[in-house]
């Protein structure tokens, strides 16, 4: 499945400055002779821009480009509609999704998609291709030890317990703080499951440990009750009652985990009159652990040649071009100028303009015009080849095209 996004991104690279002599117009309210009279007379480079009656309106202006005409033996005039003088970029993607089905190492998957570009009163445009080649998410499970843990105590409000083992939590006076560094999980990964695993050193008959989300604004060797982050009273999960020496697993909601960043948690106890203790990270055998199962959306990426390359079944390849091809089959089309090449000038970019050769580099320019251009219709030809060692699964690609025009 290849999905498209359409992005129009005008870029102004210069300032247009118009200079010239000021226009001067003279008018009199009324002029008459014994036989004729007029209400108003104009002298200068223009006339009245708009004149309307109850039923009709007219527009007059010197210098407008118009169509139509009339002539005599000595003179010729053209008249008609005024030409639009507003610069613009028009970019239309006609294909939303592509599904190439099941691939095999003996055949080549093929597909086409089309888009069109028109740029008026500009210095040209470029179309950039952006997106990671077809990829398949990879599921992984990672176990993290704390990078910091400690507890704070209300009755010793200025005391730091940074290196303590065990650490304490209760319903009121004790709070434990834990930090886990999840920078190794790629940002954008989907979290499938998460659990906090702790080793109790006391047995409590009722209640359980409450897990709270906390801010990442404390330091293990300096934090005290007075300097702790503002306590977040939200409870993510509550454990079963702890038993000394028995590992305790506390499932957490996946929404509580942020990939690619520090994740901080606080521990309290769900009922009053109990003090819970767990081994800290200073315990080499049973430190707290955060176990996270996640899916990296770009775990496996298809190989894409960086130079124009012929399609080869059995070799892992993903590539595109913007011209008509005869191999591995007859498909694709050359850029089409609408209405014709007198008015439209868009071309496929170098590297993507050779029949039967394909490449893909994220961020490449794939099409352009060096001047203001009427409509050019483009066809992207895709090839998909896999080898016998390409991992099986569902591959997707989010292919973004960015059109930029210079005015």
Both structure tokens of 101: 């089905």
* CA–CA distance, 253 with 265 (Å, rounded to integer): 13
Report whether pLDDT(145) > 70: yes
Query: Residues with Cβ < 8 Å from 140, sequence gap 6 or more?
Result: 293, 294, 295, 296, 299
The strand pairing partners of 337, in sequence order, are: 376
For 181, how many CA atoms within 13 A lie in the half-sphere containing its CB?
4
**How far is 290 from 296, CA to CA, in rounded Å?**
18
- How high does pLDDT run on average in the chain? 86
Cβ atoms < 10 Å from Cβ of 276: 30
**What proportions of the chain, in percent to the nearest 5, are helix, strand and coil?**
0, 45, 55
Rg (CA), the chain: 36
For the segment 180-210, what is each residue's pLDDT rounded down to a tens digit? 999 999 988 999 999 999 999 999 999 999 9
What is the per-residue pLDDT across 235-254, written as a single tens digit (0 to 9) for each? Answer: 999 999 999 999 999 999 99
**CA geometry: angle 78, 81, 83, nearest 5 deg:** 100
Residue % of the chain over a pLDDT of 90: 72
CATH 2.60.40 region(s) of the chain?
A: 88-134+302-405
In terms of Cα–Cα distance, which of 326, 336, 373, 368 is closest to 350?
368
pLDDT of res. 406: 87
In the numeric block, which tokens belong to residue 268? Answer: 């309290």
Quote the tokens at residue 371: 């001047």
Is-cis flag, bond preceding 206, omega within 30?
no
Alpha-helix residue ranges (DSSP H) falling in 182-301? none
Q: Could you give the dihedral angle defined by the CA atoms of residues 347, 352, 354 and 360, in that order, rounded to the nearest 10 degrees?
A: -170
CA distance linking residue 184 with residue 197, whole number of Å: 19
- Least confident interval from 74-83, 140-149, 217-226: 74-83
What's the CATH number of domain 88-134+302-405, 2.60.40, 2.40.30, 2.60.120, 3.30.1330?
A: 2.60.40
Question: What are the CA-CA distances from residue 94 to residues 5, 98, 113, 351, 379 (Å)?
Answer: 11, 11, 7, 23, 10
The CATH number of 139-297 is 2.60.120
Work out the average pLDDT over 110-134: 95
| CA proximity to 336, closest of 373, 381, 377, 372 | 377
**Total count of residues recorded for the chain:** 407
Confidence of residue 5 (pLDDT cuts 50, 70, 90): very low
């Amino acid at each position: 499945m290849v999905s498209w996004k359409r992005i129009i991104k005008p870029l102004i690279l210069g300032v247009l400055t118009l200079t010239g002599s000021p226009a001067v117009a003279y008018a009199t309210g009324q002029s008459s002779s014994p036989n004729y009279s007029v209400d108003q007379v104009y002298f200068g480079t223009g006339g009245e821009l708009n004149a309307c009656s109850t039923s009709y309106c007219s527009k007059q202006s010197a210098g407008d480009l118009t169509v139509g005409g009339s002539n005599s033996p000595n003179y010729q005039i053209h008249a008609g509609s005024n030409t639009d003088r507003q610069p613009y970029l028009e970019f239309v993607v006609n294909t939303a999704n592509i599904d190439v089905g099941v691939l095999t190492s003996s055949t080549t998957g093929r597909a086409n998609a089309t888009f069109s570009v028109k740029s008026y009163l500009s210095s040209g445009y470029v179309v950039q291709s952006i997106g990671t080649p077809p990829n398949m998410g990879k599921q992984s499970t990672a176990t993290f030890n704390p990078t910091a843990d400690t507890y704070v105590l209300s009755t010793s409000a200025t005391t730091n317990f940074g290196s303590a083992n065990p650490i304490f939590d209760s319903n009121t006076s004790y709070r434990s703080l834990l930090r886990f560094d999840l920078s190794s999980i790629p940002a954008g990964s989907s979290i499938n499951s998460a659990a906090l695993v702790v080793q109790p050193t006391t047995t409590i008959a009722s209640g359980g440990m409450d897990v709270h989300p906390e801010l990442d604004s404390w330091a293990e060797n300096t934090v005290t009750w007075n300097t702790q982050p503002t306590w977040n009273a939200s409870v993510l999960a509550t454990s079963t009652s702890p038993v000394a020496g028995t590992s305790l697993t506390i499932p957490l909601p996946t929404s509580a985990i942020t990939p690619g960043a520090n994740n901080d948690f606080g521990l309290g106890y769900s009922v009053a009159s109990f003090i819970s203790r767990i081994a800290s990270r200073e315990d080499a055998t049973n430190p707290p652990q955060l176990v996270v199962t996640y899916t990296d959306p770009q775990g496996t990426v298809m190989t894409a040649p960086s130079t124009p390359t012929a399609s080869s079944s059995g070799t892992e390849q993903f590539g595109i071009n913007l011209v008509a091809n005869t191999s591995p089959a007859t498909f694709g089309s050359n850029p089409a100028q609408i209405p014709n090449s007198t008015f439209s000038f868009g071309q496929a970019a170098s590297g993507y303009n050779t029949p039967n050769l394909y490449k893909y580099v994220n961020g490449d320019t794939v099409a352009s015009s060096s001047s203001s251009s009427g409509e050019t219709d483009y066809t992207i030809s895709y090839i998909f080849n896999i080898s016998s060692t390409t991992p099986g699964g569902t591959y997707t690609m989010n292919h973004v095209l960015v059109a930029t025009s210079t005015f």
